A = this chain, B = another copy of it.
Amino acid sequence: MTKKSKEGLTVKKEENFSKWFNQILDKAELIDLRLNMKGFMVFRPWAAMILENMFKLYESELQKKGHKPTFMPSVIPEENLKKESSHIKGFTPEVFWLKEIGKEKLALRPTSETLYTPMFKLWVRSHRDLPMKLYQRGSVFRFDTKATRPLIRTREIIWIEGHDAFATKKEAEAQVQEDIDTTEKIMHQKFGIPFLAMKRPQWDKFPGAEYTVGSDAFMPDGRLIQQPSTHLMGQKFSKVFDARFKNEKGEGEYLWTTAYGPAMSRILASIISTHGDSKGLIMPFCISPVQVIIIPVFNKKNKDKILKETEKVKKKIDSFKLKTEIDTGEKRPGEKYNYWELKGIPFRIEIGEREIKNKKVTLFTRDIGKKESLSIKNLSKIKELGKKLDARLKEKAEKFMKGKIVNCRTKQEIKTAIKNKKIAKVNFCSIDKKGEKCAEIIEKEIGAEIRGILANKKEKATGNCVICNKPAKEVVYIGKSY
């Protein structure tokens, strides 16, 4: 055991995840809750810089796939919000309304279908304007009546929302799959967060959608967390907003629309929870605001010489376009090591008398805690090592996820799986309306939810439903969630 400074974490992730999570948000200087507004957070520079890097990767993938940015108003006229009945029924309890000034009744946007659809009506004239793929980065606001949790369940969500319009249902359904692919390419491949792409049961879809696919990621405490979801809105919104286009024959048809919502603030919760350890954060190399921290190890006599050398090493690393900083502060090297490990910096370089003599640096790798010697000539190797670090984080998370899924054939087996903080994989009657009764039994007796069926891979059900014993149509995943 290393000696713990009062700045470090005092609790282990495995022992008390919830306490560990709150502690790391505070001690790694990510989130401040002391403004005392329930569900609203202050993102400190370290968290904000991580979010900015996450946005960059996400937006660049969306743009590569043909999406264009927009900025919509943060408010929505009541009239728009109330147009689609199941939408407003679903969102009504969660809406923040503004006090009326004059005649206008405005709501803070809880999501922006009712802003984008009237724009599609105006911007799309003919099939030649399709597909139209738009997005915005910004905040949405939901008055969540449940207990709030920083990053995970909040009243202001910092996210990207994609809104797309198509000529046919087929294209809209292909977009849902493309959105899953975007989650895969960025959240899984880059940030190292694997997930199950779950087509949700009909009773658990987005208010106003035909169907919803949610990405369920795994938290260390055995619960699932819904990450980016994508919705096939079908023609529901286009019909109430009369958003039509002229097809090739010149006839008017309603648009097919989809929506995609990766919440950066929520994904950050998964990154922190999945990769972090008892010493603090572990940042993926590809989004760490500082990728290499350089610590000079000096005494009064050799201070100048060593600082000069660290400057040289920094310049060299800068030239590889890596983000690097020198910690020239007054603390002892050991304290600096702890501080930057808490912040999750992928690599630390130590430079002292011995290193200079040997024309080497000491390189510390955060996730495996390994120290090694690296020749100054070979500093460019860090780029490669960074990719390897990201691959290790991803593989570790995948292994964790695999170990969490258990095939269950009886109600008792499901009970045991959930008790052991696992996810039960089960043959089930149906995720349409008629399966809801069986789902209610599971919720009541086991305290867990049907999360859905795989949306990007067909899994064949065998035998009968574990609850009602009717022939099973689906293979569903059952777990507890945030």
Contact = CB atoms under 8 A, between A and B. Distances in A.
A96 B141 CA distance: 15
A75 B75 CA distance: 13
Given A52-B69, A74-B74, A143 B37 contact: no
B134 A45 contact: yes
Given A34-B122, A68-B49, A98 B104 contact: no
A447 to B, nearest CB: 28
Contacts of A141: 74
Interface string A38-62: 1011111101110110000000000
Given A68-B49, A98-B97, A74 B134 contact: no
A42 B74 contact: no
A101 interface: yes
Interface of A: 32, 34-38, 40-45, 47-49, 51-52, 68-75, 77, 80, 96-99, 101, 104, 106, 108, 115, 118-119, 122-123, 134, 136, 138-139, 141, 143, 156, 158
Given A32-B119, A35-B118, A122-B34, A40 B75 contact: yes
A51 B136 CA distance: 12
Number of copies: 2
A32 B101 CA distance: 23
A101 B96 contact: yes
15 contacts: A37-B73, A37-B75, A38-B104, A40-B75, A41-B73, A42-B70, A42-B71, A43-B70, A45-B69, A49-B69, A51-B71, A74-B74, A75-B156, A99-B99, A138-B139
A45, A104, A138 interface centre (most CB from chain B within 10 Å): A45
A37 B106 contact: yes
Closest 9 CB pairs of A and B: A45-B68, A43-B71, A40-B73, A48-B69, A97-B99, A48-B70, A48-B71, A96-B98, A74-B139
A282 B104 CA distance: 36
Contacts of A77: 35-37
A51, A80, A99 interface centre (most CB from chain B within 10 Å): A99
A104 B101 CA distance: 20
A158 B97 contact: no
Contacts of A80: 35
Given A32-B122, A98-B96, A98-B97, A73 B42 contact: yes
B101 A99 contact: no
A178 to B, nearest CB: 19
